[in-house]
Structure 1
Amino acid sequence: MSVSAPAPAASADPPSEEAASTPGAKPREWPVHLTVAIVALSFAVYVASGLWADPYTNVLSDNVGDQAFFEWLMGYGYYTVTQGADPFFAALLNAPHGVNLATNTSVTVYTVLLTPLTHLAGPQVSFVTVLTLNLAGSAFAWYLFLRRWLVHNALAATVAGLFCGFAPGFISHANGHLNWTSGWIVPVVLWRVLKLREPGRWLRNGLMLGVLLAIGFSIAAEGLFFTALASGIFMIVWALARPVRAEARAALPTVLRALGVTAVVAGSLLAYPLYMHFAGPWTFSGTGFNQRHFVEDAAAYLSFPNRSLAGHLGWHADLAPNRTEETSFFGVPLVILMIVSFALLWRRAEPGRRATLRAVGLVGLIFFLLSLGPRLNVNKHEYDVPLPYAALTHVPLFDSALPLRFALGVVGVFGVLLALILDQLLSRRGPSGGMLNTALTAAVVVSLLPIFPLPLRIQYRAAEPTFIADGTWQKYVPEGGTMSALPFALNVTADGQRWQAYTMARGGRQFRMPDGYFLGPQTTDEGGREQPGRIGAPPRATDWLFLRAAWYGYITSMNNEDRAQARADFDYWGLDAVFLPGEITGSDHQTLNRAAVEAVARDLLGEPEVVGGVLVWRIRRGVDPVDR
């Protein structure tokens, strides 16, 4: 995912004297940079246009739950700053235990920096703002990286940068994943890694990389791990190449000194979050997701994504676990173009450039193999063919990653190859023969046009009820009390978590809530990281009572056992009140059965109060629910 830094002539690898001579861009380059930034931002707004149309009632239909989770984090960011709460542990969610946010994707830097916007406009606006800037910033950062370190031609860097920022995998993850759309972290980290060899500046470069790693960890820890792995593979393979071996040996002392500073700085800044991640309360092992399920189907690399021109024409192949995890889906034309481009670039390359190409190619091959997971899958059929990831499933860090996401590393490799082949074509230094150049130019168009992204799919979601918006809920919940919407919050029934996010963003007194969408341990026993992870809290009987009513319309006829179990669950959560809004939001345009939820609630809890557009039931703990 990276290339060699500008180096002495022995490496034959610098992009050009102009690009390599000064760290910053010359003044005449800024109009080009500004133009690329505007184009990237325009693309990002276009992709997220459905949310921008009405961020308060529109939601990403392919991932309602993750959007609710990140909106909740935005609200909690304001609560953290104004109340001095722990940014890595939240007691307000998953009552009575709380949630270890260090083991989740807490995007702490974003939530803290955007507290003014969150407070003034709401977590909904903060969410779509970060999503848009992530996509635009990723494309622009890749453009700057490629332009600075790799290619002569600005247009080549622009096209490749836009590809990296808006590749199918990142458009797919734009369905709710603020961590994985933070692709700008990769080129910025790689930039600083390549600077480590700079003579006489090991202290400054090590310090800057250490700070950057701390920021990256708080936004996208899994992505930072992938970046570190790719950087390590590249640096080792490149340094062992015979043409640059002496050069690498000479730079080694400087690099090691800089890395030492990086380790000290990053270790100091991340001491507490790392402690919370590995040894804090309610930690767990693994991810909560099945690593045999979340793998890349080999055929997906040759297929087209759902949200693309090709997908719009019906050429999409349903080969991903869900629409948020279409991490490759490059299509046959692009894969063939990349293979041909590598061969052509290799044939023309000087020895130093071949060292770079070899390292880049090996990074791509390794990430491709890792993305396939522990067993080979082709066209939704798993073959009993063990792959390298089978040996890594229990290795620390690898055990907490989802294999198919390694395909996102291939995006960077393809971006490098695309920039190189376009640079040669546009600068007319490409393979001899006009027909070949014309064919390659046509191949680039044919490869990129089918995967041109479409805007994200959206759906309507229930508006915030007056009961929450005007603070009426405070009459039903004492200081430090617990309240929940019905059905209880989960990734597929996320309204309750959104309501809490909005109250946190306004400030003032807050309520705790049971359940929620997060990653946590399999049980409520404090067993440490030997416990496997799971999505959400371990379910209780009353959770299922309301969830199946919402999802399947199943109305339970209550008996004494059901009421006793509900009483025990309410006591366990410390619940003071529950409420049912006039509308409840489903996922992927699914309509949840509100009438069934109300019928179950009335049978279990008796007649509600009608206030602020919701039905409210007070809970007297230790008393039969219907005995009010």
Structure 2
Amino acid sequence: MSVAATAPAASADPPAQPPSRRARPWRAHLTVAALALGMAVYVTNGLWRDPYNHVLSDNVGDTAFFEWLLGYGVYTLGHGANPFFTDLMNVPWGVNLAANTSISVYTILFAPLTWLAGPQVTFVTILTLNLAGSAFLWYLFLRRWLVSSPVAAGLGGMFCGFAPGFISHANGHLNWTAGWVAPLVVWQVLRLRQPGRWLRNGFVLGLMLAAFFTIAAEGLFYTALAAGLFVVIWATAGPVRDEVRAAWGTVLRAVGVAAVVAGALLAYPLYMHFAGPQTFSGTGYNQRYFAEDVAAYLSFPSRSVAALFGLGSDLGPNRTEETSYFGVPLVALMIVSAVLVWRRAAPGRKATLRAIYLVGGVFMVLSWGPRFNWMDAEWPIPLPWAALARLPLFDAALPLRLALIVAVVFGILLALVTQELLDGRIDGPNLRTGLTAAIVAALIPVFPLPVRHQDRSPEPAFIANGTWQRYVSENGVMSSLPFALNVHADGQRWQAYTMARGGAQYRMPGGYFLGPMTEGEEGRKQMGRIGAPTLPTDWLFTRAALYGYVTELSNADRAQARSDFAYWGLEAVFLPETITGSDHMTLFRNAVEVTATDLLGPPEEVDDVLVWRIRPGVDPIDR
């Protein structure tokens, strides 16, 4: 069976296309591609208007983290650095990038653009292409396997690419917006049964798994779970037993090849992920908190047309994790559509529909997490996720993100019911008119608004001009004030920009990443945490920046600072003219300056920053 051949009736039996439509598929392909790209630019237009000075206000920290990774891609190629571990952050321990979202394939492929235009431009480019590519590839998948109409496939594909959950993750997540991974993997899985091509198909699937692991490991894990569950449910259906028997041996051989290829290519990344230095278990995020509220499925997202009329919801842990939020009209439409499509399906198609429905139901229940939540209140009702939460891989997953699989199931149902309408298989003009109106009424409220943005601190000339090199030895340690965290990540951005230019580089303490709870401890694998464990001195600056709190320093504080500086090997710190905070947060730069001056003495005014040199062994009190 070739890719272009009609799919077997049991698994994907779209109505035959007329010869004229088959002969001119590129017209529809180009139309959907243009619509998808236009929609993606619309969603991200705030960043495109000024990528160097605008940032996603709902997730400043993740934007800085991914910009840092993109800069590190240039550094990796220029210095032969390890793409899965770095000592440039979190001095003196470093960061296990394999255990973080390292997007290594992206950082290498886009390194030329990053070097030419900077991580800021590369970030918004990848974000835009992710959204557009997801919609377009789902369109191709649906048209190949499930529907014949480009309109039905286009509508379903656009929903899969721009569903509320994916728009939510467009607030900074280059991994989760890579929704195009799922249709490619599932497409290749469905091709594994092609007779005589098990070696080639298995090899291609293995390459895909290896590449996509470094782009969206958690999303790939969910895709594998969904694809595996679908295959098991479909294969046990009575109408397809003969088809299963005929393909069983071919599929097993192909899966074996895929496992060997992916295993060989991922041996080192997987070792680093599970057993390398600075690895950890879990993520540092509470799974009971990052679980989907059941009422969220009936609510509208904060970046939607419905939200313009005050109908948005705050049932999610933050605006980046609104992973369901379909609204009552769309949920009702999906229920009705599932019934209508089922009633008109042939026995072979019902095997496919049963598997799709059950995958959607299972993932919906799992997305609710270990306890039942309704309207922001946790009920003492245990759910299936509680039995999975401590298992390997599941312990590092956030259950609410499983709702993204439900969004894809809804997109598939939308395509299927639209195909039924276009084929005239819905009985009665009133029902057809009503169903068409219901589709419009369900989709308009969740039509996305552009992601929110804000101004951010411009790159200091001190960094851009390379002046910083006069204050740090080769491979020395320097930091912006306050030290980089997810809520004030400027220091991480400054390092990203120096890496993107190539040449000399400095290291820095702290940073925004995932790491072990306690640095340097041996023995049992530790739980994860966000960032490095805070020391008293960097907490002085963070407290001053976030709350404007200026403490009266004692000799003990200065002695502690000397110890902390020696721990980091810190040679200099600098303070820019402004500090960027999340969600338009006002940070207290003057409080940071007062704290630093009290601790370290008067600063040097260099270019557009204040600089304090730190000399090893010299107590700040003596300055």
Q: Distance in 1 between matches of 2:320 and 2:375?
A: 18
The answer to whether 1:257 aligns with 2:253 is yes
Which of residues 435, 453, 462 is equivalent to 2:430?
Answer: 435
The answer to whether 1:392 aligns with 2:391 is no
Say which SS state the counterpart of residue 450 (structure 1) adopts.
coil
Say which SS state the counterpart of residue 391 (structure 2) adopts.
coil
Which amino acid in the other structure matches residue 598 of structure 1?
A: E
Say which SS state the counterpart of residue 83 (structure 2) adopts.
coil
The answer to whether 1:16 aligns with 2:12 is no
Instruction: Specify whether residues 422 and 608 from structure 1 end up closer, same or farther in structure 2 by C-alpha distance, changes over 3 A only.
Output: same
Say which SS state the counterpart of residue 197 (structure 1) adopts.
coil
Quote how far apart the aligned CAs of 1:344 are: 1.0
Q: Distance in 2 between matches of 1:382 and 1:498?
A: 38
Q: Distance in 1 between matches of 2:303 and 2:426?
A: 34
Alignment of 1:550-561 (within 5 A): 550-561=545-556
The answer to whether 1:72 aligns with 2:68 is yes
Matching residue of 1:199: 195
Contact 1:284–1:528 under 8 Å retained in 2: no
- Deviation readout 1:375-394 (Å, 9 max, x if unpaired): 00000000000000011110
- Deviation readout 1:58-110 (Å, 9 max, x if unpaired): 00000000000000000000000111000000110111111000000010111
Q: Distance in 2 between matches of 1:195 and 1:125?
A: 37
Contact 1:284–1:530 under 8 Å retained in 2: yes
Contact 1:285–1:529 under 8 Å retained in 2: no
Alignment of 1:111-260 (within 5 A): 111-260=107-256
Q: Distance in 1 between matches of 2:293 and 2:520?
A: 36
Q: Distance in 1 between matches of 2:537 and 2:219?
A: 37
Instruction: Specify whether residues 12 and 549 from structure 1 end up closer, same or farther in structure 2 by C-alpha distance, changes over 3 A only.
Output: closer
Matching residue of 1:457: 452
- Deviation readout 1:320-362 (Å, 9 max, x if unpaired): 0000000000000000010111111111111111111110011
Matching residue of 1:355: 351
Contact 1:196–1:205 under 8 Å retained in 2: yes
Which of residues 363, 369, 375 is equivalent to 2:371?
Answer: 375
Q: Distance in 2 between matches of 1:498 and 1:564?
A: 30
Quote how far apart the aligned CAs of 1:527 are: 3.4
Matching residue of 2:510: 515
Quote how far apart the aligned CAs of 1:165 are: 0.3
Contact 1:282–1:528 under 8 Å retained in 2: no
Q: Distance in 2 between matches of 1:27 and 1:35?
A: 16
Which of residues 66, 91, 98 is equivalent to 2:94?
Answer: 98
Which of residues 335, 338, 342 is equivalent to 1:342?
Answer: 338
Say which SS state the counterpart of residue 317 (structure 2) adopts.
coil
Matching residue of 1:313: 309
The answer to whether 1:328 aligns with 2:324 is yes
The answer to whether 1:564 aligns with 2:559 is yes
Instruction: Specify whether residues 187 and 576 from structure 1 end up closer, same or farther in structure 2 by C-alpha distance, changes over 3 A only.
Output: same
Which of residues 21, 38, 41 is equivalent to 2:37?
Answer: 41
Q: Distance in 2 between matches of 1:530 and 1:605?
A: 38
Say which SS state the counterpart of residue 310 (structure 2) adopts.
coil
Q: Distance in 1 between matches of 2:107 and 2:479?
A: 24
Say which SS state the counterpart of residue 446 (structure 1) adopts.
helix
Quote how far apart the aligned CAs of 1:621 are: 1.8
Contact 1:374–1:388 under 8 Å retained in 2: yes
Alignment of 1:401-440 (within 5 A): 401-428=397-424, 430-440=425-435
Which amino acid in the other structure matches residue 264 of structure 1?
A: V
Say which SS state the counterpart of residue 270 (structure 1) adopts.
helix
Quote how far apart the aligned CAs of 1:431 are: 2.2
Contact 1:139–1:184 under 8 Å retained in 2: yes
Which amino acid in the other structure matches residue 460 of structure 2?
A: P
Which amino acid in the other structure matches residue 376 of structure 1?
A: F
Say which SS state the counterpart of residue 451 (structure 1) adopts.
coil
Say which SS state the counterpart of residue 445 (structure 2) adopts.
helix
Quote how far apart the aligned CAs of 1:626 are: 3.7
Contact 2:188–2:201 under 8 Å retained in 1: yes
Say which SS state the counterpart of residue 432 (structure 1) adopts.
coil
Quote how far apart the aligned CAs of 1:622 are: 2.1
Q: Distance in 2 between matches of 1:463 and 1:293?
A: 34
Say which SS state the counterpart of residue 455 (structure 1) adopts.
coil
Contact 1:465–1:613 under 8 Å retained in 2: yes
Quote how far apart the aligned CAs of 1:412 are: 1.0
TM (norm. structure 1) is 0.97
TM (norm. structure 2) is 0.98
Alignment of 1:259-278 (within 5 A): 259-278=255-274
Which amino acid in the other structure matches residue 88 of structure 1?
A: F
Contact 2:457–2:578 under 8 Å retained in 1: yes
Matching residue of 2:440: 445
Instruction: Specify whether residues 469 and 431 from structure 1 end up closer, same or farther in structure 2 by C-alpha distance, changes over 3 A only.
Output: same
Quote how far apart the aligned CAs of 1:12 are: 7.3
Quote how far apart the aligned CAs of 1:529 are: 6.4
Any gaps of 5 or more consecutive residues in structure 1?
A: none
Quote how far apart the aligned CAs of 1:530 are: 2.1
The answer to whether 1:598 aligns with 2:593 is yes
Contact 1:283–1:529 under 8 Å retained in 2: no
The answer to whether 1:295 aligns with 2:291 is yes
Instruction: Specify whether residues 232 and 276 from structure 1 end up closer, same or farther in structure 2 by C-alpha distance, changes over 3 A only.
Output: same
Q: Distance in 2 between matches of 1:337 and 1:6?
A: 29
Q: Distance in 2 between matches of 1:169 and 1:478?
A: 46
Q: Distance in 2 between matches of 1:616 and 1:213?
A: 47
The answer to whether 1:488 aligns with 2:483 is yes
Quote how far apart the aligned CAs of 1:26 are: 5.1
Which amino acid in the other structure matches residue 186 of structure 1?
A: A
Say which SS state the counterpart of residue 382 (structure 1) adopts.
strand
Q: Distance in 2 between matches of 1:579 and 1:13?
A: 61
Quote how far apart the aligned CAs of 1:427 are: 2.0
Which of residues 543, 546, 556 is equivalent to 1:548?
Answer: 543
Instruction: Specify whether residues 297 and 12 from structure 1 end up closer, same or farther in structure 2 by C-alpha distance, changes over 3 A only.
Output: closer
Q: Distance in 2 between matches of 1:6 and 1:486?
A: 61
Matching residue of 1:504: 499
Contact 1:12–1:350 under 8 Å retained in 2: no
Which amino acid in the other structure matches residue 344 of structure 1?
A: L
Which of residues 596, 602, 608 is equivalent to 2:603?
Answer: 608
Q: Distance in 2 between matches of 1:455 and 1:595?
A: 33
CA root-mean-square deviation? 1.3
Matching residue of 1:574: 569
Q: Distance in 1 between matches of 2:102 and 2:527?
A: 20
Quote how far apart the aligned CAs of 1:627 are: 2.4
Contact 1:284–1:529 under 8 Å retained in 2: no
Contact 1:303–1:329 under 8 Å retained in 2: yes
- Deviation readout 1:458-505 (Å, 9 max, x if unpaired): 001000001000000000000110000000000001000000000000
Say which SS state the counterpart of residue 295 (structure 1) adopts.
coil
Q: Distance in 1 between matches of 2:588 and 2:502?
A: 32
Q: Distance in 1 between matches of 2:476 and 2:347?
A: 68
Any gaps of 5 or more consecutive residues in structure 2?
A: none
Contact 1:151–1:420 under 8 Å retained in 2: yes
- Deviation readout 1:250-289 (Å, 9 max, x if unpaired): 1110000000110011111111100100110010000110
Structure 1 runs (4+) deviating above 3 angstroms are: 5-9, 16-19, 526-529
Percent of residue pairs bearing the same amino acid type: 68
Quote how far apart the aligned CAs of 1:526 are: 3.8
Give the stretch that moved more between structures: 378-387 or 519-528: 519-528
Q: Distance in 2 between matches of 1:85 and 1:312?
A: 47
Q: Distance in 1 between matches of 2:250 and 2:439?
A: 40
